[in-house]
Chains A and B, each alone.
Chain A
Amino acid sequence: MRRLEGRVALVTGGLRGIGEAVTQRLIAEGAAVMVADLDETEGGRLGAHAAYVRLDVGDEAQWRAAVAAVEQRFGRLDILVANAGIGGTGPIREVTLEAWHQTLRVNLDGVFLATKHCAGLMARSGRDHRGGASIINIASIMGLVGLPQAGPYNASKGGVRLLTKANALEFAADKLPIRVNSVHPGFVETPLLLSSSPREALDFYHAGTPMGRLAQPSEIAAVVAFLASDDASFMTGSELVVDGGWTAQ
């Protein structure tokens, strides 16, 4: 399918895991993608349909530069995928304020700054599409249900969920052609999850998911591509859970 011909996307955390799969999928649908991540360069991994900008999503000055880079390179922005995120776990009585701030800074400040600085350009580009421009915030099922020792992560992703809804309503009220939705993956088979999870944790993820397996990053990317397209033109403020039934049980 090539539903996104002529559109430009910005994907944060786009060099690995879900972000990488999203980048590949959007390109396959015809979009040009500005990939943002922490690496100094993209290391020659991106093809002709993508460009790269180094971006710490918690740094407002860097956001101004990144959006300027998108505008200079592509002249428009139709799709924003706020995907960059980090973990944030530990017994709440032991979590340091620094660690708490770091999780909130990347996972929640990052989405706030993304929206704040991309909305102007997206409002102009969105007029060219029946379904407008589309902001897709990658939250988590941990933005819907709690998990012991995941306080900082839960708080950040729960924040993303409601920030999404507030922004969706605000843009609708202001008649800006930007839809805003959140995606809530369950456990996804990313390099980060596989390398950072002890055996018992991986067993827990498998056994706890009714479908009995982890998600592939491409399965999250498919939902992102749907929300980015005009097929989702009446969807804004929605939360799309992709978790193999985890939160339904």
Chain B
Amino acid sequence: MARLDGKVALVTGGTSGIGEATVHRLVADGAQVVFTGSNEAAAKRVSDATGALFQRSAVEDPAAWEALSAFVRDRCGRLDIAFANAGTEAGDGSVESIGIEGWNRIIAVNLTGVMLTCQAAVRLMRETAGGEGSIVVNSSMNAYKPMGNFVGYSTTKGALIALAKSVAIHCANQGTKIRCNSIHPGVVETDMIKNIIAKQADPGAARAAYAGMAPLNRMGQVEEIAALVAFLASDETRFITGADYSIDGGSTAGMMGV
């Protein structure tokens, strides 16, 4: 379709799952893509398959953002699209069980990391792309439907709604054409979920349970999420900013009856 020809995109957490699929999709649509992560072997697989450029970088590290921004500026010359995707739930628990280390780590990656991604993206878009661009924040349906046993994840994903809207309003008020929106996937069949299912005593039942969380009675595919990111990244959505889009097979639309 090549509707992103000439654009440069940054994808954080691009070595697996939704991030990896988005790297593939943005490249297929014509963009030049830089992606980050920590798994170098997985990064090589993505680079080899797509030609996208990998930079090992931690989203929660402010100093790393200076180096990453310099890399994008020097290698690509511009930034038009940012997908703030990196996230974690490691060390999460309920409000009674979570440890302060786990909590701080989740806040750092899921919230501070996304803020730093937006900050770097806005600066680069102003500097290199005439103050125009699209930032897409990957939140979760758990922003609307928090989980009791994932207090850190749920809280940070909820905060991302306000973060994305704040960035959007700021950029508009400043007279830029930089847009910022959040997306809210339901259960997606990532490698992580596949591994969890495979380890269960009854994988078939586990798979059915995950599928049953969505009214469509299936898990989302990573390519389906990537398609929404690609749409919001395109110039077709120049009037869309500060919006939060659910992509969850109906999971947050209401309650299923009997």
CB contacts (< 8 Å) of B215 on chain A: these are: 168-169, 172-173, 236-237
List A167-192 residues whose CB lies under 8 Å from chain B.
168-169, 172-173, 175, 186
Contact flags (1/0) for B1-44 with A, using CB distance below 8 Å?
10100000000000000000000000000000000000000000
0/1 per residue, B218-258, Cβ < 8 Å to A? 00110011011011000011111111111111101111110
B237 lies within 8 A of A237 (CB): no
Contact between B253 and A165 (Cβ–Cβ < 8 Å)?
yes
B165 at the interface (CB under 8 A from A): yes
Do B237 and A211 touch across chains, with their CB atoms under 8 A apart?
A: no
- Interface presence of B172 (CB below 8 A): yes
Q: Chain A residue with minimal CB distance to B215? A: A172
Shortest beta-carbon distance, B139 to chain A, in Å?
14
How far is it, in angstroms, between the C-alpha of A232 and the C-alpha of B230 when the chains are bound?
11
Contact of A237 with B169 at beta-carbon distance under 8 Å, contacts A168-B215, A226-B231, A243-B239 already known: no
Contact across chains for A248 and B168 when beta carbons are under 8 A apart: yes
What interface size band does chain A fall in? 35 or more
Could you tell me if A234 and B248 are in contact, using CB atoms closer than 8 angstroms?
A: yes
Asked if A92 CB lies within 8 Å of chain B CBs, one says no
The A221-238 residues at the B interface (CB cut-off 8 A) are: 222-223, 226, 231-238
Given A168-B215, A234-B216, A241-B240, A211–B172 Cβ distance below 8 Å? yes
Contact B253 A236, beta carbon cutoff 8 Å: yes
- Specify which chain A residues have a CB less than 8 angstroms from the CB of B175 in the assembled complex: 212
Measured in the bound complex, the distance between the Cα atoms of B184 and A238 in whole Å is 10
Q: A212-B175, A243-B239 are in contact. Are A238 and B231 (CB under 8 A)?
A: no
A120 contacts partner chain B, Cβ-Cβ < 8 Å: no
The reply to whether B168 and A231 form a contact with Cβ atoms under 8 Å apart is no
Partner of A242, one of B1, B240, B252: B240
The reply on B186 being an interface residue by CB < 8 A is: yes
With an 8 Å Cβ cutoff, the count of chain B residues facing the other chain is 44
Q: A166-B254, A173-B215 are in contact. Are A231 and B231 (CB under 8 A)?
A: yes
Shortest C-beta distance, A127 to chain B (Å), equals 15
Q: Which residue of B lies closest to A167 (CB)?
A: B253
**Would you list which residues of chain A between 199 and 249 have a CB under 8 Å from chain B?**
210-212, 215-216, 219, 222-223, 226, 231-245, 247-249
| Bound form: Cα–Cα A191–B165 in Å | 30
A1 in contact (CB, < 8 A): yes
A210 touching B247, Cβ below 8 Å: no
Q: Given that A210-B169, A219-B236, A234-B221 are contacting pairs, would A240 and B243 also be in contact in the complex, using a CB cutoff of 8 Å?
A: yes
Is B242 in contact with A249, judged by CB distance below 8 angstroms? yes
In the bound complex, residues from chain A placing their C-beta under 8 Å from that of B255 are 169
* Contact, CB under 8 Å: A210 / B241: yes
Tell me whether B228 and A169 are in contact (CB under 8 A): no
Q: How far is the CA of A231 from the CA of B1 in the complex (A)?
A: 12
B257 touches A235 (CB 8 A): no
Name the B residues within 8 Å of A210 (CB-CB).
168-169, 172-173, 241-242
The answer to whether B216 and A236 have CB atoms under 8 Å apart is: yes
Q: How far is the CB of A189 from chain B (nearest CB, A)?
A: 11
> B257: which A residues are within 8 A, CB to CB?
169, 173
Q: Is there an interface contact between A234 and B220, defined as CB atoms closer than 8 Å? A: yes
Question: Smallest CB-CB separation from A216: which chain B residue?
Answer: B239
Q: Are B173 and A238 in contact (CB under 8 A)?
A: no
In contact, B237 and A223 (Cβ under 8 angstroms): yes
Tell me, rounded to whole Å, the shortest Cβ–Cβ distance linking B165 to chain A. 4
Q: Which residues of B contact A175 (CB under 8 A)?
A: 217
Residues of B within 8 A of A216 (CB): 239
Give Cα A173–Cα B228 distance, bound, in whole angstroms.
Answer: 24
A172 touches B254 (CB 8 A): no
- The answer to whether B221 and A165 touch across the interface, beta carbons within 8 angstroms, is no
Answer whether A231 and B228 are a contact pair too, CB < 8 Å, given A248-B165, A248-B168: yes
Identify the B interface with A (CB < 8 A). Answer: 1, 3, 165, 168-169, 172-173, 175, 177, 185-186, 214-217, 220-221, 224-225, 227-228, 230-231, 236-250, 252-257
Give 13 new A-B contacts, CB below 8 A, not counting A169-B257, A173-B257, A242-B240: A168-B250, A168-B253, A172-B249, A172-B250, A173-B256, A175-B217, A219-B236, A219-B238, A236-B216, A236-B250, A237-B246, A248-B168, A248-B242
